[in-house]
């Protein structure tokens, strides 16, 4: 029984999109018969092999249910109870995970403002101090997001600069890769060029925002930087009994470069949207459109009128800033219709 209109589109989030047909087929193909539970299945074993091919021979893979779970398990296994994580003030772990990293892990987030959503050594240095001071949480990890929450992408050299600074100061590096496929497609380089080879220690590897039903993974690139992730995953309620289905979904993204191809399409649709709106009176862009997100500024009243036709979110209503997201199934017609609606409402304002 179908309860929704398949033709209704939004630009609110790539989470709104359904499951890519090839991913759904992979779930069906993994069904039937018996496979050993809790990750001792053939699909999870194969996923581990594929991840090592892309991230390095030492990489360990731990599938989980969702992105918040991936971040919590990753950071918990990277830090002692007194540890702190330096990140941006827009980071998902700070603004959109209901305090889970701090509440579940007991860690402390040390945030710094970043105009483009990216960390730099200079920004990290603002909170990278106080080691040995028993009155201050100890900065022992840095977390960056690829792509960032503001839609920007770290170049491999930028990741390397962050990692070098962090390691020089005794801190490990975590990458929240909720949209890592979009970053890879935008950069046009292999995953390892901006992760393993750039000094990242642990990655929260996304899938849900790129056509997967509900599967993410923690990829431990440097096992010496974590302690007990297999146990932390269980006690954090992120261990799937029928893990073959999560692993099969993530595997499908690697098959024939599916994940890269559909992420590249989402990125292209965002670029199409921006190009159609460049120079529109009453509209400005507040961030670079590096991947599949467009950040714009317009009058709140106009935004509310447009929202009656297409759903999207305010990013900072006080500043009139909104976020428009494209997904793997966004079509050129979707973009053209949305752009026309924006122009029409701005013209009437």
Asked if residue 116 is part of any domain, the answer here is yes
This model's pTM is above 0.95: yes
3-7, 20-24, 48-52, range with the lowest pLDDT: 3-7
Into how many domains does the chain fold? 2
What is the reported pLDDT for 277? 98
What's the gap between Cα 297 and its chain centre? Answer: 23
pLDDT digits (tens, 9 = 90+) for 193-234: 999 999 999 999 999 999 999 999 999 999 999 999 999 999
Distance CA 17, CA 265 (A): 13
Instruction: Say yes or no to pLDDT of 6 above 90.
Output: no
Average pLDDT of the residues in 183-199: 98
pLDDT exceeds cutoff 90 at 182? yes
**pLDDT tens digits along 19-40:** 999 999 999 999 999 999 999 9
- Is 180 in contact with 206 (CB distance < 8 Å)? yes
Q: Are residues 171 and 155 in the same domain?
A: yes
**Average pLDDT of span 275-291:** 97
Q: Given this model, what pLDDT does residue 332 score?
A: 98
**75/209 same-domain check:** yes
Ramachandran area for residue 117 (φ above 0: left; ψ -120 to 50: alpha; else beta):
left
Residue 174 contacts residue 151 (beta carbons within 8 Å) = no
Mean pLDDT of 235-261: 98
Q: Indicate whether 77 and 151 sit together in one domain.
A: yes
Same domain assignment for residues 298 and 210? no
**Token code pair at residue 177:** 């890769």
Q: What pLDDT does residue 251 have?
A: 98
Last residue of a domain, one of 240, 256, 272: 256
Q: How many CB atoms lie within 10 A of CB 242?
A: 14
pLDDT at 320: 97
Query: Which residues, other chains included, contact 302 with Cβ-Cβ below 8 Å and sequence gap of 6+?
Result: 282, 345, 346, 349
- Over the stretch 71-98, which tens digit does the pLDDT of each residue have? 999 999 999 999 999 999 999 999 999 9
Q: Which CATH number covers residue 337?
A: 3.90.1150.10
Question: CA separation (Å) from 184 to 202, 267, 290?
Answer: 17, 11, 11
**Domain annotation covers residue 13:** no
Band of residue 336 on the pLDDT scale cut at 50, 70, 90: very high
Is the domain of 110 the same as that of 239? yes
Residue 349 reports pLDDT greater than 80: no
112-142 pLDDT, tens digit per residue, is 999 999 999 999 999 999 999 999 999 999 9
- pLDDT of 96 reads 95
Contacts of 51 (CB under 8 A, 6+ apart): 59, 61, 205, 217, 219
Mean pLDDT of the region 166-186: 98
What are 288-304's pLDDT values in tens digits? 999 999 999 999 999 99
**Model pLDDT, residue 131:** 98
Question: Is 7 part of a structural domain of the chain?
Answer: no
Residue 7: is its pLDDT beyond 90? no
343 lies in some domain = yes
- Check whether residue 90 and residue 191 sit in a common domain: yes
39 shares its domain with 132? yes
In a shared domain, residues 197 and 326? no
Percent of the chain with pLDDT over 70: 100
Distance set, CA 91 to CA 113, 124, 145, 147 (Å)? 10, 14, 7, 11
Is the pLDDT score of 148 beyond 80? yes
Beta strands in the chain (DSSP E): 60-64, 83-88, 108-112, 138-145, 172-177, 202-205, 216-220, 284-285, 293-297, 313-316, 321-325
| Residue 3 is assigned to a structural domain of this protein | no
Cβ–Cβ < 8 Å for 140, 80: yes
Instruction: State the residue range of the domain holding 138.
Output: 21-256
- Judge whether 313 and 324 are in contact, CB under 8 Å: no
């Amino acid at each position: 029984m179908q309860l929704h209109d398949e033709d209704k589109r939004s630009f609110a989030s790539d989470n709104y999109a359904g499951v890519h047909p090839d991913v759904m087929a992979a779930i069906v193909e993994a069904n039937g018969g018996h496979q050993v539970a809790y990750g001792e299945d053939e699909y999870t074993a194969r996923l581990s092999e594929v991840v090592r091919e892309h991230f390095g021979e030492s990489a360990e893979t731990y599938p989980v249910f969702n992105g918040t779970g991936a971040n919590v398990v990753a950071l918990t296994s990277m830090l002692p109870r007194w540890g702190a994580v330096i990140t941006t003030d827009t980071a998902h772990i700070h603004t959109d995970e209901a305090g889970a990293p701090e509440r579940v892990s007991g860690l402390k987030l040390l945030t710094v403002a970043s105009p483009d959503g990216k960390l730099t050594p200079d920004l990290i240095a603002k909170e990278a101090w106080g080691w040995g001071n028993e009155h201050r949480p100890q900065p022992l990890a840095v977390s960056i997001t690829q792509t960032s929450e503001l839609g920007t992408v770290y170049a491999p050299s930028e990741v390397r600069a962050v990692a070098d600074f962090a390691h020089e100061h005794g801190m490990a590096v975590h990458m929240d890769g909720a949209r890592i496929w979009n970053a890879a497609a935008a950069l046009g380089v292999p995953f390892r060029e901006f992760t393993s080879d750039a000094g990242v220690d642990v990655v929260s590897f996304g899938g849900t925002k790129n056509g997967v039903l509900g599967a993410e993974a923690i990829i431990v690139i440097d096992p010496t930087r974590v302690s007990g992730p297999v146990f932390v995953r269980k006690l954090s309620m992120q261990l799937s009994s029928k893990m073959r289905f999560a692993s099969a979904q993530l595997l499908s993204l690697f098959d024939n470069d599916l994940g890269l191809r559909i992420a590249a399409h989402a990125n292209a649709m965002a670029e199409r949207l921006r190009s159609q709106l460049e120079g529109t009176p009453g509209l400005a862009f507040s961030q670079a459109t590096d991947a599949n997100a467009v950040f714009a500024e317009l009058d709140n009243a106009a935004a509310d009128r447009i929202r009656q036709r297409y759903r999207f979110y305010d990013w900072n209503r006080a500043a009139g800033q909104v976020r428009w997201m494209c997904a793997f199934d966004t079509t050129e017609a979707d973009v053209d219709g949305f752009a026309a609606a924006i122009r029409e409402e701005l013209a009437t304002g």
